[in-house]
Structure 1
Amino acid sequence: MAIPVLLLVTTSVVNVVATKSEASSITRYGQLVPVDGKQMNVVVSGEGDETVVLLPGLGTAAPALDFQPLITALQSSYRVVAVEPFGTGLSDSTDTERTAANITREVHEALQYLGVDRYVLMGHSIAGIYALTYSAAYADDLIAFVGIDSSVPDQPGWDDPIPTGTIVALRKLGITRALAALADDPYAGLPYDEQTKEQMKLLDTKNTAAPTMVNEMEHVPSNFAAVSGKTFPKKLPVLLFVASNDTDVTGWVALHEKQAASVDTGKVVVVEGDHYLHHTLSKEIAQETTTFLTALSLR
C-alpha cells in the first residue's frame, strides 16, 4: 500500500509546484473588457463589414487560441470576435453560477462594451444551448446563428451528470498531468504552431478543473433542461455544421435537421470530422458560412 500512496503524494506535489511555475509562462493575448465587475478576455481580428462572434464549447480552456484556424479562415471577410467566457482563457474566474442566462448576459455585456451590436453568432458544442437562451434575449442583435457540431435541446444523454468530483480529484492528485505527459500530442497534425500548442496546454492546466469551469459542468443538465423543447426565433437564419459519424448521440444528424426545419431559413451541412470540426475544416466552414450569409443579403 505504501508504494501507490507514495506515488500519489509525489504526483500531487509535482503538480502543485509545476502549476505555480507554469503560471508565469502564460503569455497574454487579446484585450480585457470590464464585465460584471471583472475582466473578460476577447480577441478581435479582421475588418469586415459584418461581424462573427465565436463562442466555445464546454471545457475549452483557451477558446481564442482553440479557434485560431477558424479565425484565420474568417478574418479576410469578417470582423471576428472570439469571446473567452469567465473561467476560460485569460478571463477572470467568477462565483456567479454558470447558468445559461448568466453566461449569455455576460457575453452580451462584453459585446456591448466593444460596440458590437449586430452580428452572426457562431458557436461550438454547448454554445448551441446557450445560443437558444441568447437568441431569446437578444434576437435583435443577431443576423444568424451558425453551429459547429452544436448541442441541441433534448438530445439523448443531456441529463447525465458530469463526474466533476473525479475530474477535480485527478487534477489535484497530479494524475491528469502524468497521463498527459505519457499521451500523444493532442494537437499533432493540426494547424497550430508550437507556441500556441504550449499555451493551450498551460491554460488547460490552469482552467479545466478550476471552480468556474467545474461549476459550468455541474450546470449542464439544468442548462439543457432550461431550453427543453425550445427552438430558435422563426425568422433567425440557422446554419448547422454537423459531424456525420457521431457515435455518442443517437440520431445526431436528424436532431439538427429538425432544428434547422424549425426556422424559416435553416440549413444543415453534414461533414466528416470529429466534434471539433473547426480544427480541421475551418476553410470549409468559412466558405459555407459566406455562401449562406451572401444568400441572405440577396433576398
Structure 2
Amino acid sequence: MLTKVRDTRLYVDQRGPADAPPLLFVHGGPGAGSYDFLAFQGDRLAKSFRLIAVDQRGVQQSDPLTGPVTEQDLVADYEALRQQLGIERWAVLGHSYGGRVALRYAAAHPDSITKIVFENPGWDMVLATDTLVRAALPLLPGAELPPHTGPATKAMWDERTGLLVQLGDRRMEIYLGPDSRDLQLPADSEIPAEYHQRSGQFSEAITSSESFAEPLLPSLAKLTQPALLIKGEYDPVTSPEEIELFRSDVATGTYYYATGAGHFVHAEQPELFTRLVTEHLS
C-alpha cells in the first residue's frame, strides 16, 4: 500500500505476524524495487518475521520523483517509516546496491538496527562496476575495462554500465550461476512499463547525486550489529577487496559463500537463503 513518508508516498508491503521480529528489506538496482525479491522470499520470510519491503522514493510502485534524490534521503525515509510503524528496532537486509544503502543506514542510525544481512552488496561503486565489467568482457570481444581513479562519478557509472547494455539479451548470463540461467525475474514482465520508467528516472537521479560518490567502506569497521555477508559464487558485484575488508574489519561479521549461486541467491537458492537469514536473525 502507498504510505505517506516525509514528503512523498512510498509503496510499503508488510507480511507476517505483527508481533514477529521486524525485518526491513532494502532493494538494489539502483531502482530495482522490491517486486522480484518478494516473489521469491516474501512469503518464505513472513513465516518467521514481520517483513517490510519498500520501493524507494520514485521507484516502481512508489510515487514518481519530483526532484533530486540522495542516499541520505533514502536513509531518512527508512528511519521515518520505522518511527511511523512504531518499531523500536528492526533488522535490515540489503541486496546489491541496497547493501550500500543498508550500510549507510547502519552507520547513521546504529541504535535503530538489531542485525544486518548483506546479499552480494555493492558497497563501493568503483569496485562494483570494475567486477561487473570484468565479468562481462568475455561476452564482449574487443571491449576493455574503462579506467578510473578516485571516487565514483556519474561519467564512470554511465561508461561502465553502458558496456553492460551492449550485452542485450545475454546480460543476465553474468548475474546467474550456470544452473540458474533459465531464471526469470517476474518484474520484467509483470509490472507496467510506467514503473520501469520510474526506476530509470530514479537511477539517473541517484547516480548524479554527490552521495553516490561518497566512500562508505570505512563504515564497515564501525558496524556494531551482528552482520552476515552472503556472497554467491558467480556474483559479479561484490569485489574481492570488499569481501576481504568485511572479513577483516567487521568484528561481528559472518561470511557465507553460496556455491553455485550468482547475484540473486534469494531467487536461485531460495530455501538456502531463507535458512541463512532466519538463522542469523534468530
Q: TM-score, normalised by structure 2?
A: 0.74
**In structure 2, which of residues 193, 217, 223 is the aligned counterpart of residue 202 of structure 1?**
193
Would you say 1:256 and 2:255 are equivalent positions? no
Asked whether the 8 Å contact 1:46–1:78 carries over to 2, the reply is yes
Asked whether the 8 Å contact 1:40–1:85 carries over to 2, the reply is yes
What residue number does 2:91 align with? 120
Residue-by-residue CA offset, 1:69-113 (whole Å, 9 max, x unaligned): 111221111110001101212101234533221111112212322
Would you say 1:81 and 2:68 are equivalent positions? no
**In structure 2, which of residues 80, 102, 108 is the aligned counterpart of residue 131 of structure 1?**
102
Aligned-residue RMSD, C-alpha: 3.4
Alignment of 1:81-100 (within 5 A): 81-100=52-71
Secondary structure of the corresponding residue to residue 231 of structure 1:
helix
What residue number does 1:162 align with? 157
Identical residues among aligned pairs (%): 18
* Matched positions, count: 246
Q: TM-score, normalised by structure 1?
A: 0.70
Alignment of 1:49-68 (within 5 A): 49-68=20-39
Instruction: Return the index of the structure with the highest Cα Rg.
Output: 1
What residue number does 1:223 align with? 212
What residue number does 1:16 align with? none
Q: Which amino acid aligns with 1:159?
A: A
Residue-by-residue CA offset, 1:109-163 (whole Å, 9 max, x unaligned): 1232222331110011112221222112211111111011012347624726222
Q: Distance in 1 between matches of 2:107 and 2:27?
A: 19
Asked whether the 8 Å contact 1:238–1:260 carries over to 2, the reply is no
**In structure 2, which of residues 231, 234, 239 is the aligned counterpart of residue 245 of structure 1?**
234
Residue-by-residue CA offset, 1:167-205 (whole Å, 9 max, x unaligned): 8xx9xxxxxxxx77xx99x99844777xx6532363553
What residue number does 1:28 align with? none
Change (3 A) 1:253 1:125: same
Change (3 A) 1:77 1:263: same
Q: Which amino acid aligns with 2:190?
A: Q
Q: Distance in 1 between matches of 2:83 and 2:35?
A: 19
Change (3 A) 1:190 1:106: same
Asked whether the 8 Å contact 1:135–1:233 carries over to 2, the reply is no
Would you say 1:32 and 2:2 are equivalent positions? yes
Residue-by-residue CA offset, 1:197-226 (whole Å, 9 max, x unaligned): 53236355332432x33101323x742424
Structure 1: which 5+ residue stretches go unaligned? 1-30, 171-178, 295-299
Asked whether the 8 Å contact 2:107–2:223 carries over to 1, the reply is no
Q: Which amino acid aligns with 1:54?
A: F
Asked whether the 8 Å contact 1:129–1:224 carries over to 2, the reply is no
What residue number does 2:203 align with? 213
Q: Distance in 2 between matches of 1:293 and 1:83?
A: 19
Asked whether the 8 Å contact 2:266–2:273 carries over to 1, the reply is yes
Secondary structure of the corresponding residue to residue 200 of structure 2:
coil
Asked whether the 8 Å contact 2:65–2:198 carries over to 1, the reply is no
Change (3 A) 1:133 1:61: closer
**In structure 1, which of residues 108, 111, 115 is the aligned counterpart of residue 82 of structure 2?**
111
**In structure 2, which of residues 257, 260, 275 is the aligned counterpart of residue 270 of structure 1?**
257
